[in-house]
Structure 1
Amino acid sequence: MTGPNVALPGPQSNKLFARARAVFPDGTTRATVERDPIPRYILKGDGAYLIDVDGQRFLDLNNNFTTLIHGHGFRPALDAVARLLRDGTCFSNPTAHEIGLAELLVDRIPAIEQIRFVNTGTEAVMFAIKAARAFTGRPSIAKIEGAYHGSYDWAEADQGGTPSTWGSPDAPVAVPAYAGTPASVADEVVILRFNDADGARRRITAAADRLACILLDPMPSRGGLIPPDPDFIAAVVETARSYGILVVCDEVLNLRQSFRGASARYGIEPDLIAAGKIIGGGFPIGAIGGSRRVMSVFDGSAGRAKVAQGGTFSANPISMVAGRVSMEAMTEAAFARLEEMGNRLRTALAAAISRHQAPYVISGAASLFRIHPKHTLPRDYREAYPSTDEAGALKAISRFFRSEGIVLHADTSASLSTAMSDADIDKIEDVFERFLATAPASRGGLLRACEDQD
């Protein structure tokens, strides 16, 4: 898509990137940083908006990958942290602040009876897997094809599969995430296709004697934010229970789906939950929670615990206080308002697609949505995976939104925040409507339009 203002990164971003390339491999410190053609450097956040170092202002649909449920600069959390800073930022001893956030989460989330804090979602998933291994005495895990669970070797197997690597539909392959991964990692991961109930039963049963847990994201983001089929959820949980396999729900992202989380929303009763993102109030955090019976593997009161979980910054008071204040503000009414905005927006986007008879569909739930360049809603990662032309369409949408002052991730997955207004939702609807009205008729045309800018 072309136009007089494509909101490209400006001269200050270019200067900063030139400096960054001298000190960072590829000029960035996160693989998820987008560059089109270079990264955009941010000066500050303001509620639902971002301001970059060149003074350009954007409605933020990324929210640091769904973390900022209140948007940027949430005043109650900032004020609480400001009061705390003079007292110290981290200690080797515990503080009352960690108990406060823990009590909130235990009271709110049905599956969590006890909890431990870490610093990232990756750590939360890693320790959940370790806990499952220690509790069952088994080494292997099962996970959903294409689902993202952070950077632990076993959890990241097959999170980036492609048509050339993912294997047959009946026997998905656990592709290692990076060169040099021990071959044994792939041998210890069983891949399940999302929403394939029969396949899940068959593959779990075949590996039951070695499976410690099934790592289940109720609505995988990289899998397309596709709704879970109740029959699939039932097949996974019932089969796991029959063989003594633990169910671990990764809600690092999807805890934002309801007041009590995604597991409760979809009727899942997991043994463990990995949480993060919104529970930190904009600061680094992760958590592992579950039943007292399973969480006992972290109990070191009578000697060395079965799973020794430390972390220099785990349960630091800054994250604990910011998280507690932010989660206290996420009342049932606040979640209901986000859900209403999400429902309204997804309905409006679908209506625009219908009016223009365009080859797109919308997925998502609660405050999450994603645009797919497909004629029908995908059911799993393979169906959601974009062809070359479809990838061009996604890039065109992201660029068009950027030219209209909206940050939309390159895969068009997005999240809403409580800082957004009805006018912001109207703006998103209007921009998508105008994209459909002005986009080239074919996906090939969209791809060529994007290539003209590269």
Structure 2
Amino acid sequence: MSAAKWPEAHSQSKALYDRASQVMPGGITRILPWQEPFPVYAGSGSGAYVTDVDGTRRLDLLNNFASLIHGHAHPAIVAAIQEQVTKGTAFTLPTEPEVALAETICARAEGFEWIRFSNSGSEAVMCAIKAARAITGRSKIVKAEGVYHGSYDYAEVSLDSSPENWGDDPQSIGYSKGTPEGVKSDVVVIPFNDVDAAERIILANRDAIAAIIIDPAPSYFGFVPVSQAFVEMIRRVSTEIGAVFILDEVITFRVHSGGAQTRFNIKPDLTVLAKIIGGGFPVGAVAGSRKFMQVFDHREGKPLLPWSGTFTANPITMTAGKIALDLYTQAESDRMDVLGDRLRAGLTQAFSNADYPGQVTGFSSMFMVFGHQREVQDYRSGYSSKEEMKWVTAVDELVNADGLLERARCHYSFRAPKTF
């Protein structure tokens, strides 16, 4: 492994970035992998490691933002998709692999009777919200402050509020410039894990709410699990006001063979899935009981929610997803819990040894580093000042100096979820 300063100014990554800057805004297509002064470009991946275009091999603790539960280029997945490629990569007709993956997913959680595929988690969230509106005839959604649910404009509201604009109760604040006022007015924002305040805000809007969407362990504030009292309130109030309870398990489906809903006994109406169910390929899905999923059923005329897509349920993704889930047994999930506990304990000890004024949070195979030591229960308690974020930027060097992760380089940022 190179001992030179990283990233190196005279490298293949720098050359690629210079080329990219001529044809892409800012030289990138995805903003999350960005780092100063330029991104490092991947050349290949194998298992837990990525080798960049300059030949440096590093431990990968992100695995394409939690989508590769088995790491890179798992032999069984590679073999299966190689065989499928020779048969075809996309068809107008349905294929057997989509049936097989649907059967596999529906067998993993009690509430999964029917499933509808899409091409990303963002698409799946949009699909679930549109389904709730079609079912209820209402327009508003409820989401928790500071929780990421993908790039649908309604789901982005209140994603990055700050002390300057968040108010006493969470406010509907647009994420990107130009967010329509109508979008913001149709999003009701609640504080995560605050039972009384959240219930009060929901009931004040009860007649207009189509859906309440919750992530059981939001990435933006350190994968802190939802409290039992909070999720029980969401379930009770959703039923009381006639809203659809949507659980976003795009990331947390990895915490148990049946997802967080099985691990924590959560009873949603619809569940949004993505990431690990695609085996490393683009994927999304909405799953739930027939009562709610029949909104997609076309057999009695035009469905309440027509949903399709050119590459939806393509056989490459479906094949890879089936193998990935077959390999991800409950025993493997339990093993990931042990590895996560070991990593978090090691980081905590390293921070203590170095008098680092921060902490590591999370559970199962998910973690995040903060530059402060406040107890994190929601977005506001996790929110970091600019000075605290500087400590997060510096933690990379600290971890490597301690030797905890040998010579592997870990990538941390205040916002990005950290999984392995």
TM-score range, shorter chain: over 0.9
* SS of equivalent residue, structure 1 residue 407: coil
- The answer to whether the aligner puts 1:407 opposite 2:410 as a matched pair is yes
Instruction: State the distance in 1 between where 2:394 and 2:375 align.
Output: 20
What is the letter of the counterpart of residue 314 of structure 1?
Answer: T
1:330 to 324, 328, 331: 328
State how far apart, in whole Å, the 1-side matches of 2:222 and 2:64 are: 18
CA contact 1:6–1:400 (8 Å) conserved in 2:
no
2:347 aligned residue: 349
Q: How many matched pairs? A: 412
In structure 2, relative to structure 1, the CA distance for the partners of 1:345 and 1:35 (3 Å cut) is closer
Q: Measure, in 2, the Cα distance between the counterparts of 1:330 and 1:50.
A: 21
CA RMSD across the alignment: 1.7
Aligned to 1:101: 101
Partner of 2:125: 125
- 8 Å contact 2:251–2:274 — kept in the other structure? yes
Q: 2-side partners of 1:340 and 1:282: how far apart?
A: 23
Q: How much has 1:410 moved relative to structure 2?
A: 1.8
Contact 1:7 1:402 in 2 (8 A): no
Match of 1:80, as an amino acid? A
Tell whether the 8 Å contact from 2:146 to 2:159 is kept in structure 1 after alignment.
Answer: yes
Amino acid at match of 2:88: G
Q: How has the CA–CA distance of structure 1 residues 379 and 352 changed in structure 2, closer, same or farther, with 3 Å as cutoff?
A: same
Cα distance, 1:267 vs structure 2: 1.8
Which residue of 2 is the match for residue 445 of structure 1? none
Distance in 1, matches of 2:50 and 2:163, equals: 36
Q: Which residue pairs with 1:383 in the alignment?
A: 381
Shift of 1:357: 5.0
Residues 39-79 of structure 1, C-alpha deviation per residue, up to 9 Å, x if partnerless? 11110111100111111111001111111110101110110
Contact 2:248 2:273 in 1 (8 A): yes
The amino acid of 2:411's aligned partner reads L
Q: Report the AA paired with residue 127 of structure 1.
A: C
Paired amino acid for 2:40: R
Partners of 2:249 and 2:412 lie apart in 1 by 20
Distance 1:284 1:399 in 2: 33
Counterpart selection for 2:293 from 269, 292, 295: 295
**CA separation of 1:313/1:207 partners in 2, compared to 1, >3 Å: closer, same or farther?**
same
SS in 2 for 1:172: coil
The verdict on how the C-alpha distance between 1:361 and 1:291 changes in structure 2, with shifts beyond 3 A counting, is: same
Q: Which moved more, 1:141-150 or 1:369-378?
A: 369-378
Q: 2:198 aligns with which of 197, 200, 210?
A: 200
1:267 maps to 265
* Contact 1:140–1:211 under 8 Å retained in 2: yes
Query: Which position in structure 2 is the counterpart of 1:174?
Result: 172
1: CA distance, partners of 2:419 / 2:41: 20
C-alpha displacement of 1:6: 3.5
1:54 equivalent in alignment to 2:59: no
CA offsets, 1:168-209, max 9 Å, x none? 2xx211111212221011101011111111111101110110
**8 Å Cα contact 1:224-1:384 kept in structure 2:** yes
Inter-partner Cα distance in structure 1 for 2:355 and 2:153: 43
Q: What is the CA-CA distance between 1:355 and the residue it aligns to?
A: 4.8
Aligned to 2:77: 77
TM-score (norm 1): 0.88
1:211 maps to which residue? Answer: 209
Instruction: Percent identity, please.
Output: 40
1:375 and 1:16 mapped to 2: Cα distance?
39
Query: Counterpart of 2:231?
Result: 233
The offset of 1:279, in angstroms, is: 0.4
Q: CA deviation at 1:135?
A: 0.8
Letter in 1 for 2:419: S
| Partners of 1:111 and 1:270 within 8 A in 2 | yes
- Which letter maps to 2:53? V
Shift of residue 361, structure 1, vs aligned partner? 2.3
Q: Which runs of 5+ in 1 are unaligned?
A: 417-454
Mapped pair 1:321 → 2:319? yes
- Partner of 1:347, secondary structure, is helix
Provide the residue aligned with 1:255 in structure 2: 253
- The answer to whether the Cα contact below 8 Å between 2:248 and 2:271 also exists between their aligned partners in 1 is yes
1:222 aligns with 2:220: yes
Secondary structure, counterpart of 2:107 in structure 1: helix
Cα deviation, 1:370-400, whole Å, max 9, x if unaligned, reads: 1222223211111111111110001111355
Letter in 2 for 1:415: T
Secondary structure of residue in 2 paired with 1:73: coil
Map Cα deviations across residues 221-248 of structure 1 (whole Å, 9 max, x no partner): 0132112222222222211221111110
1:181 partner SS: coil
Question: Which residue is 2:362 aligned to?
Answer: 364
- Counterpart CA distance in 1 for 2:3 and 2:84 is 47
Q: What is residue 404 of structure 2 aligned with on the other side?
A: none
- The answer as to 2:110 corresponding to 1:110 is yes
After the TM superposition, list the runs of 4 or more consecutive aligned residues in structure 1 that deviate by more than 6 angstroms.
none
SS at the partner of 1:397?
helix
Question: Gaps spanning 5+ residues in structure 2: where?
Answer: 402-406
Once the two structures are TM-superposed, the CA of residue 362 in structure 1 deviates from its matched residue by: 2.2
Contact 2:374–2:382 (Cα < 8 Å) also in 1: no
Q: CA–CA distance in 2 between the matches of 1:343 and 1:405?
A: 19
Q: Compared with structure 1, are the counterparts of its residues 179 and 402 closer, same or farther at alpha carbon in structure 2 (3 Å cutoff)?
A: farther
Whole-angstrom CA distance in 1 between matches of 2:237 and 2:4: 55
How many angstroms apart in 2 are the aligned matches of 1:229 and 1:199? Answer: 14
Amino acid at match of 2:125: V
Q: Tell me, in whole angstroms, the C-alpha distance in 2 between the residues paired with 1:202 and 1:114.
A: 33
Which one is further off, 354-363 or 211-220?
Answer: 354-363
Letter in 2 for 1:409: Y
Q: Distance in 2 between matches of 1:134 and 1:413?
A: 32
Counterparts of 2:352 and 2:409 in 1: how far apart (Å)?
A: 23
- Counterparts of 1:340 and 1:315, CA distance in 2: 33
